[in-house]
Amino acid sequence: MSAWIESEDGIWEHHKTVKLCGLLGIKLVAAVGHLTSLWHFVLRNAWRDADLSPWGDAGIEMACRWEGEAGKMVKALRECGRDGGPGFLEGSTVHGWLERAGKLVQDRFYNEKRRQDVAQKNTDAVKRRKSDATQPNPTQPNHTKPKTSSPATAGGNHDGFEQWWETYPKKVAKEAARKAWKKLGPSPQMQSMLLNAVKAQCSCDQWTKDDGRFIPNPTTWLNQGRWTDEVKVKAPEAAAPAKTCESEKCPIFTGGVRPKGMTFPKDCDRCEAATRA
- Side chain identity at 3, as an amino acid letter? A
Q: What is the largest CA-CA distance in the chain?
A: 120
pLDDT, one tens digit per residue, over 6-49 is 667 788 989 999 999 999 999 999 999 999 999 899 888 887 88
pLDDT of residue 159: 82
In degrees, rounded to 5, the angle at the alpha carbon of residue 75 between the alpha carbons of residues 73 and 77 is: 70
**Residue 108 has what pLDDT?**
75
In this prediction, residue 50 carries a pLDDT of 86
Q: Hey, where are the domains in the chain?
A: 9-98, 157-228
Give Cβ neighbours of residue 143 (< 8 Å, ≥ 6 apart).
none
Round to whole Å and give the CA distance between 185 and 168. Answer: 18
Burial class (CB in 10 A: 0-12, 13-18, 19+), 70: exposed
Q: Would you write out the chain's pLDDT as a tens digit for each of its 277 residues?
A: 455 666 677 889 899 999 999 999 999 999 999 999 998 998 888 878 889 999 999 999 999 999 999 999 999 999 999 888 999 999 999 988 777 776 667 677 777 777 888 888 778 777 676 665 555 555 555 555 555 444 444 444 578 899 999 999 999 999 999 999 999 888 898 999 899 999 999 988 888 888 888 899 999 999 998 988 888 766 666 655 444 455 555 555 555 555 555 555 544 555 555 555 4
Do 49 and 193 form a contact (C-beta atoms < 8 A)?
Answer: yes
